[in-house]
Amino acid sequence: MGNSSGKAKPKPLLVTEGPGEGTGAYKHTITEKSDHEDASFAVSSSADAYYLPWKSGDVTECEINLATRKIQYFFTANLSGCSLWYKFDGAKIKIRHEARTDSESQRLHRLAGFTCVVDSSLNKDDIQLVIDDKTMIRHAQFYCVYALIDYEERQIEFRAQLVKNQKNLLSKVESYELVKTTTIEVPIPR
C-alpha cells in the first residue's frame, strides 16, 4: 500500500470513489494506476476494511470493533479543510471525519475525549481549488488519510498523505502527485 517500493517514486493511495453503501465494513481492493493507487470497496462477508465518508458542514463517525480482529484497514474521504479525530472506547475505536472548521467544533471533540490525527484546515499547503482561466487547469492539494491496523504490534498507523492534483477541465485529463506522507502511530490500549 502506498507504493513504498525501492526506486519507484511513491504514489498516493486514493479513494477516488467511495462505496455506494456509505459508512461500513467492506472488502477492499487496490488498483495500480500510472500516478496513484486506487482503493475500491465491495460488500462482502469477508470485510477487511472500514470506510468513513464525509458530510458537508457536519461530522461523520464510525466505530470499529477491534476485538474481532477482522478490520485491517481504515479509509476515509479526502480531507480538504476537514479534520480527522479518534478515541478508544474499550475494545473499540471511534473515528470522526469533521467538515466544520470552527473552533467550537474542535473544542467539542477534545471535550469528548477525541484526539486529532490531522487538521487540514490549519495547513497552508491545503489548497481547495484554483483554476487557471488561461489554461483551464484546476489545481488542488488535499489530504488522503488511511490507516493500517496491526493487531500483533497493537497499534494503528494513520498515514496522512498530502496530494497534489491537477485536472485539465477541457480534456478531463487528471494527474496526482504525492507531496508528503506523515505517519501517526497510535498504540491500541490493552
This prediction has a pTM of 0.90
Distances from the Cα of 123 to the Cα of 40, 79, 96, 142, angstroms: 28, 11, 19, 10
pLDDT confidence band for 5 (50 / 70 / 90): very low
Residue pLDDT, tens place only, 46-67: 999 999 999 999 999 999 999 9
Q: 49-75 burial by CB neighbour count: b if 16+ within 10 A, else e? A: bbbbbbeeeebbebebebeeebbebbb
The residue behind cell 487540514 is: 120
What was the pLDDT predicted at 1? 55
pLDDT confidence band for 16 (50 / 70 / 90): confident
pLDDT confidence band for 102 (50 / 70 / 90): confident
pLDDT confidence band for 162 (50 / 70 / 90): very high
Domain parsing of the chain, residue ranges: 13-187
